[in-house]
């Protein structure tokens, strides 16, 4: 049966067809829909959101040790968080098939960097499959489980935003039964003491050599011989772009792209006049081709940064140029926090208190944009608290007002250890936890603070204030960020506190169905408005400046923050 599936839906389907038992993930664009699809469409699989990616991979390892097939899913930077278990996991005996899905984001559509996670396959010495369509995303996921169990190794499936979020036709297959997990002991392969790991290491090296031989004959590494004047080695979506541009060229399409099939590459290179490697981001394949002593083109003409496109590939290989593009000076439309977003109130209050604001990963990072301009750093999940601590320690006490903002989901992910450090090392920074009861940026996923699991079951609902106090913070206040005057006052008070202070800015995300904001747009009385633009300083998308006056559009959620700010009582309506 044919269906149109996104790459992510296809990976979920592949997991089901492969008889997967357990699926773990922390949400992260572009990977999030894989677990959402599993939870919604394939309830036979136990799917769970974990607080972070390290937990996801370690839970997966446990499930594999029990003999279950398991898939751990994360975005590219999530693999950094999981890198500690990832580097040692291949030393251990993988019993039930274990597949790690890394969803990379060339072009940084929704990420803080565009690292090429194919390097992790080489680093961890594990095989990697790179699908170039939804059909392959499904088929390669199934094959990854076969390879994992045949060789006793974790296997990586590397997708990118263009594969994960493109939709194409998939012929779905039969669903395989799940194995029955059993408890066994394999301590000589699971207890990574130096004496054991030392014995395991050569086994990994020998295995990767066997995998190289396997790669040379693998069905997903395919030579498509055609006109031999140009030969192209490619993988992932880059293959589709090259095929689009040069349908008559010869191709070596790599599906199992680590370890690379050295013999096949030599054979292909010998058959073509001019060899190209077309790949996004790093010269991952190209360097190995060159290490074989084979001359080729690649990053001498193709960019290292950003995603490729048919146009970029055409211009590089055929030495063409795009016609001069239209140079219209159009006003940009960056994403913004929603009308009624509770983050806006607390960011405004911090700004009015002249704080340096160390940011983190979440919707509130959008507070960087004018007119709020309220975010001063953003590095990775959980970094903001530590930035604030480091800056205030370096400056010395009382020198500047240093604050950190972090969302609830990000706090559970990797903010808790930073807060513990702040308390332990006598920090003075103010930490604001933006507690909107969801993982908002990735589309509202549950987490340990919501009381609901990914599968919709009721569970513990972590009390934020109790958690913060248990980490050693004595000055803790929970506030309503819609009350701007109180928010500003409480920030001032927290900054005056000599030790570490935490404000929990508590209000649910306006995109949650359960959130009760009035939804009735406010109105501005044009006679009372003197055009002072104070309300515009909130950066709310529902407030515009028209003909010298502020104007509220139908996008208004009725949250009332702007009303609190107006000194002329010009903003009215039901709140």
User: Site residues (CB under 8 A) for other proteins?
Assistant: 2, 4, 29-30, 109-110, 133, 161-162, 165-169, 237, 240-241, 243-244, 247, 309-311, 314, 322-323, 325-326, 328, 330-338, 363, 366, 369-371, 443, 511, 533, 536, 539, 541, 543-546, 553
Q: Which is nearer to other proteins, 168 or 379 (CB)?
A: 168
- Give the nearest distance from C-beta 500 to other proteins in angstroms: 32
- Give the nearest distance from C-beta 391 to other proteins in angstroms: 29
| Contact of 343 with 364, CB cutoff 8 Å | yes
- Give the nearest distance from C-beta 184 to other proteins in angstroms: 42
CA separation for the pair 235, 264 (Å, rounded): 14
Q: 118: closest CA among 135, 136, 100, 133?
A: 100
What burial class does residue 255 get, using C-beta atoms within 10 Å of its C-beta: 0-12 exposed, 13-18 middle, 19+ buried?
buried
- Give the nearest distance from C-beta 258 to other proteins in angstroms: 24
Torsion of CA 115, 117, 122, 128, to 10 degrees: -160
Report helix, strand or coil for 188. helix
CA separation for the pair 24, 96 (Å, rounded): 15
Pairing of strands 155-160, 128-129: parallel
Q: Which is nearer to other proteins, 29 or 505 (CB)?
A: 29
Q: Which is nearer to other proteins, 363 or 501 (CB)?
A: 363
Report helix, strand or coil for 524. strand
Tell me the three-class secondary structure of 327-384, residue by residue.
CCCCCCCCCCCCCCCCHHHHHHHHHHCCCEEECCCCHHHHHHCCCCCCCCECCCCCHH
Tokens of 238: 């880059």
Q: Which is nearer to other proteins, 62 or 531 (CB)?
A: 531
Place of tokens 């199992």: 256
- Give the nearest distance from C-beta 254 to other proteins in angstroms: 16
Q: Is the bond preceding residue 259 a cis peptide, omega within 30 degrees?
A: yes
Q: Which is nearer to other proteins, 264 or 543 (CB)?
A: 543
- Give the nearest distance from C-beta 131 to other proteins in angstroms: 12
- Give the nearest distance from C-beta 465 to other proteins in angstroms: 29
Q: Which is nearer to other proteins, 219 or 324 (CB)?
A: 324
Q: Which is nearer to other proteins, 247 or 499 (CB)?
A: 247
CA separation for the pair 516, 525 (Å, rounded): 25
- Give the nearest distance from C-beta 117 to other proteins in angstroms: 17
Q: Which is nearer to other proteins, 293 or 331 (CB)?
A: 331
Q: Which is nearer to other proteins, 59 or 536 (CB)?
A: 536
- Give the nearest distance from C-beta 307 to other proteins in angstroms: 9
Give me the sign of the Cα torsion angle 385, 386, 391, 394.
positive
| Contact of 158 with 104, CB cutoff 8 Å | yes
- Give the nearest distance from C-beta 533 to other proteins in angstroms: 8
Strand partners, 102: 74, 158
Report helix, strand or coil for 227. strand
| Contact of 447 with 437, CB cutoff 8 Å | no
Q: Which is nearer to other proteins, 187 or 326 (CB)?
A: 326
Tokens of 380: 């990775």
């Amino acid at each position: 049966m044919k269906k149109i599936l996104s790459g992510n839906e296809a990976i979920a389907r592949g997991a089901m067809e492969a008889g997967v038992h357990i699926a773990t993930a922390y949400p992260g664009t572009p990977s999030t829909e894989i677990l959402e699809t599993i939870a919604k469409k394939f309830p036979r699989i136990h799917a769970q959101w974990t607080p972070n990616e390290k937990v996801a991979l370690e839970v997966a390892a446990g499930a594999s040790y029990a003999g279950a097939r398991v898939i751990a899913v994360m975005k590219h930077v999530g693999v950094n968080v999981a890198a500690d278990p990832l580097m040692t996991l291949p030393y251990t005996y993988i019993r039930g098939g274990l597949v790690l899905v890394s969803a990379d984001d060339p072009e940084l559509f929704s990420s803080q960097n565009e690292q090429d996670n194919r390097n992790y396959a080489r680093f961890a010495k594990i095989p990697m499959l790179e699908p170039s369509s939804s059909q392959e995303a499904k088929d390669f996921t199934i094959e990854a489980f076969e390879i994992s169990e045949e060789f006793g190794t974790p296997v990586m499936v590397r997708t990118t935003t263009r594969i994960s979020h493109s939709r194409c036709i998939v012929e779905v297959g039969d669903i395989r039964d799940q194995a029955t997990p059993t408890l066994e002991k394999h301590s000589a392969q699971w207890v990574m003491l130096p004496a054991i790991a030392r014995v395991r290491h050569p086994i990994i090296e020998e295995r990767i050599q066997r995998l190289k031989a396997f790669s040379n004959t693998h069905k997903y590494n395919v030579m498509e011989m055609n006109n031999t004047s140009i030969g192209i080695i490619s993988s992932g979506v880059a293959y589709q772009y090259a095929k689009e541009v040069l349908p008559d060229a010869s191709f070596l399409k790599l599906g199992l792209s680590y370890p690379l099939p050295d013999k096949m590459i030599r054979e292909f290179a010998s058959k073509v006049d001019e060899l190209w490697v077309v790949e996004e981001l790093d010269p991952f394949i190209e360097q190995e081709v060159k290490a074989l002593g084979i001359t080729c083109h690649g990053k001498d003409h193709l960019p290292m940064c950003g995603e490729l496109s048919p146009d970029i590939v055409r211009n590089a290989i055929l030495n063409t140029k795009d016609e001069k593009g239209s140079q219209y000076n159009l006003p940009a439309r960056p994403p913004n926090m929603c009308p009624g977003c509770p983050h806006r109130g607390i960011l405004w209050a911090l700004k009015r208190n002249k704080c340096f604001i160390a940011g983190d990963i979440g919707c509130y990072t959008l507070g960087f944009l004018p007119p709020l301009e309220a975010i001063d750093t953003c590095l990775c999940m959980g970094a903001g608290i530590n930035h604030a601590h480091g800056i205030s320690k370096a400056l010395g006490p009382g020198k500047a007002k240093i604050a950190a903002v972090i969302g609830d989901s990000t706090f559970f992910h990797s903010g808790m250890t930073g807060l513990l450090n702040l308390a332990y090392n006598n920090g003075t920074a103010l930490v604001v936890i933006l507690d909107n009861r969801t993982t908002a940026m990735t589309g509202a996923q549950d987490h340990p603070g919501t009381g609901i699991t990914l599968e919709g079951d009721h569970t513990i609902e972590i009390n934020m204030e109790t958690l913060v106090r248990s980490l050693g913070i004595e000055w803790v206040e929970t506030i309503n960020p819609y009350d701007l005057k109180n928010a500003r006052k409480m920030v001032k008070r927290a900054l005056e506190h000599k030790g570490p202070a935490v404000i929990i800015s508590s209000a649910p995300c306006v995109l949650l169905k359960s959130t009760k904001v009035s939804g009735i747009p406010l109105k501005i009385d044009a006679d009372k408005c003197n055009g002072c633009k104070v309300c515009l300083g909130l950066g709310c998308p529902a407030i515009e400046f028209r003909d010298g006056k502020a104007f509220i559009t139908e996008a208004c959620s009725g949250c009332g923050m702007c009303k609190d700010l107006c000194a002329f009582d010009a903003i009215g309506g039901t709140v």
